């Protein structure tokens, strides 16, 4: 899908160095930031539906924001039905249902992931402060990858992709979102990984996981077409690097389950 450029900060000429230097809420700080990229923002934000659009609940505690950008972008599936309803109304309802599950059943302060994409290709803001954090190059800490929540940003893709491919609309919106995030955080597309690269889970499903090389290639194509200077891939902090655990044989099978999302190393909840 194609969107007209969004107004607002995403279209401003912003330099990441300035964004990082102005980061007000610095928590953690155990991870070194990658070299600053003096590359002006060129990738337009996806046509993104904010928390106000899906009538998000207020977090039960303040969400944490780190000045350090994430080192990886993690692709998930939502482990929900592969719905044929591609409407915006359905997408907004999906965001509400995920937030209710995460807050009421899981007991987290808010929805776990930073972004959600529906099978109709609608992109929604997830956790509170996710969108302003991306715009300024900082990270809103989510709850989506056990022991790596303070170094990763997560995208939940509606559906269960153990045996079928996502819709073309979802993949197109995902590529657009990945390019936006890579540019915003100065990441090489090699930083795009699946949840299973960090935790013992099938998420994002065998089929979507197998599409990651294609997603990286398409994202690189967008960045190059827009003239974005793509930094070399670096995984400077070994503690932040993917661990590639084995996929479990007995992954629990129920709606919203997509593997471990909190661990003893996590500051988030």
Interface contacts to Zn ion, rule CB under 5 A: 76, 195, 203, 258
Closest CB to Zn ion among residues 23, 142: 142
What is the closest distance, in whole angstroms, from the C-beta atom of residue 103 to Zn ion in the complex?
Answer: 18
What is the closest distance, in whole angstroms, from the C-beta atom of residue 203 to Zn ion in the complex?
Answer: 3
Strand order in the sheet with 123-125: 48-49, 123-125, 115-117, 152-157, 72-77, 192-194
Closest CB to Zn ion among residues 76, 122: 76
Q: Which residues, 6 or more positions from 122, have their beta carbon under 8 angstroms from its beta carbon? A: 49, 88, 91, 92, 173
What is the closest distance, in whole angstroms, from the C-beta atom of residue 114 to Zn ion in the complex?
Answer: 13
Closest CB to Zn ion among residues 33, 203: 203
**Closest among 87, 114, 118, 90 to 102, alpha carbons compared:** 114
What is the closest distance, in whole angstroms, from the C-beta atom of residue 258 to Zn ion in the complex?
Answer: 3
Report the Cα 67 to chain-centroid distance in Å: 17
Supply angle C-alpha 41, 91, 117, rounded to 5. 40
Closest CB to Zn ion among residues 129, 195: 195
Q: Which residues, 6 or more positions from 154, have their beta carbon under 8 angstroms from its beta carbon? A: 73, 74, 76, 112, 113, 114, 115, 126, 142, 144, 145, 195
Closest CB to Zn ion among residues 47, 247: 247
What is the closest distance, in whole angstroms, from the C-beta atom of residue 194 to Zn ion in the complex?
Answer: 8
Closest CB to Zn ion among residues 16, 144: 144
What is the closest distance, in whole angstroms, from the C-beta atom of residue 257 to Zn ion in the complex?
Answer: 9
CA distance 134 to 50: 13
Asked if 19 and 136 touch (Cβ cutoff 8 Å), the reply is yes
What is the closest distance, in whole angstroms, from the C-beta atom of residue 131 to Zn ion in the complex?
Answer: 21
Q: 205: which 2 tokens?
A: 């499903």
Q: 213: which 2 tokens?
A: 């090389």
Closest CB to Zn ion among residues 17, 260: 260
């Amino acid at each position: 899908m194609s969107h007209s450029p969004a107004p607002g900060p995403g279209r401003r000429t912003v330099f990441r160095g300035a964004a990082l230097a102005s980061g007000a809420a610095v928590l953690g700080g155990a991870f070194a930031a990658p070299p600053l990229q003096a590359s002006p923002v060129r990738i337009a934000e996806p046509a993104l539906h904010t928390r106000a659009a899906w009538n998000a609940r207020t977090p039960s505690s303040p969400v944490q924001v780190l000045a350090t950008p994430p080192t990886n972008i993690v692709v998930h599936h939502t482990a929900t039905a592969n719905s044929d309803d591609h409407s915006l109304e359905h997408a907004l309802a999906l965001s509400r249902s995920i937030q209710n599950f995460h807050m009421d059943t899981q007991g987290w302060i808010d929805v776990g992931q930073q972004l959600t994409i529906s099978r109709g290709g609608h992109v929604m803001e997830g956790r509170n402060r996710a969108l302003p954090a991306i715009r300024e190059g900082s990270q809103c800490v989510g709850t989506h990858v056990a022991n790596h929540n303070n170094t990763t940003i997560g995208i939940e893709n509606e559906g269960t992709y153990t045996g079928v491919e996502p819709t073309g609309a979802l993949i197109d919106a995902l590529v657009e979102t990945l390019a936006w995030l890579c540019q915003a955080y100065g990441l090489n597309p090699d930083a795009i990984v699946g949840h299973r690269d960090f935790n013992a889970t099938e998420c994002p499903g065998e089929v979507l996981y197998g599409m990651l090389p294609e997603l990286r290639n398409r994202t690189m194509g967008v960045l190059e077409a827009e003239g974005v200077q793509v930094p070399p891939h670096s995984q400077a902090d070994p503690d932040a690097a993917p661990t590639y655990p084995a996929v479990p044989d007995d992954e629990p099978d129920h709606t919203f389950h997509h593997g471990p999302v909190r661990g003893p190393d996590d500051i988030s909840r």
